[in-house]
Amino acid sequence: MTWHPHITVATVVEDNGRFLFVEEFKAGKHVFNQPAGHLEPNETLAQAALRETLEETAWEVELTGLVGIYLYTAPSNGVTYQRICFAARPVRHRVDSPLDSDIERALWLTRDELLADPARWRSELVPRCLDDYLQGPLHSLDLLRD
């Protein structure tokens, strides 16, 4: 059996104590996640984070730092993901931009609103990335080597 980790990016976007999430329909239920997705060929990690955030939320953002790098094996399918989580600030909402087809909606939640319903987290990485962002430290984007 050949093992292949999946490289993903996610973005914690904060605006006055509220955080940008997406609601997706996965495994028969509606779940919350940070804007996130897979690294595509010929793009940098930063480009992937900006692209995924825009495609899933219609928000242009400015990356402000690195939250952390996470290794996660999904219990549902055994797939291992390496998630590079970025911090960002909102810049512009493109209200007329369509969202990715697997995204139900983009929404702003407080930490308490997210934590109130753990059954709706896409994975335990969702609150972990948020808490790591809030607790710091935020790492420099200069750590990235493209």
Q: Which CATH number characterizes residue 128's domain? A: 3.90.79.10
Three-class SS state of 10: strand
Query: pLDDT (tens digit, 9 = 90+) per residue, 6-22?
Result: 999 999 999 999 999 99
In the DSSP assignment, the letter for residue 138 is P
Residue 30 structural domain: 6-137
Query: pLDDT (tens digit, 9 = 90+) per residue, 106-140?
Result: 999 999 999 999 999 999 999 999 999 999 999 99
**Number of domains present in the structure of the chain:** 1
Three-class SS state of 22: strand
Closest Cα to residue 123, out of 77, 56, 91? Answer: 77
143 occurs within a structural domain: no
122 occurs within a structural domain: yes
Query: pLDDT (tens digit, 9 = 90+) per residue, 36-77?
Result: 999 999 999 999 999 999 999 999 999 999 999 999 998 888
146 occurs within a structural domain: no
131 occurs within a structural domain: yes
Peptide bond into 127 cis (omega under 30): no
98 occurs within a structural domain: yes
pLDDT recorded at residue 1: 62
Tell me the pLDDT band of 79, cut-offs 50, 70 and 90: confident
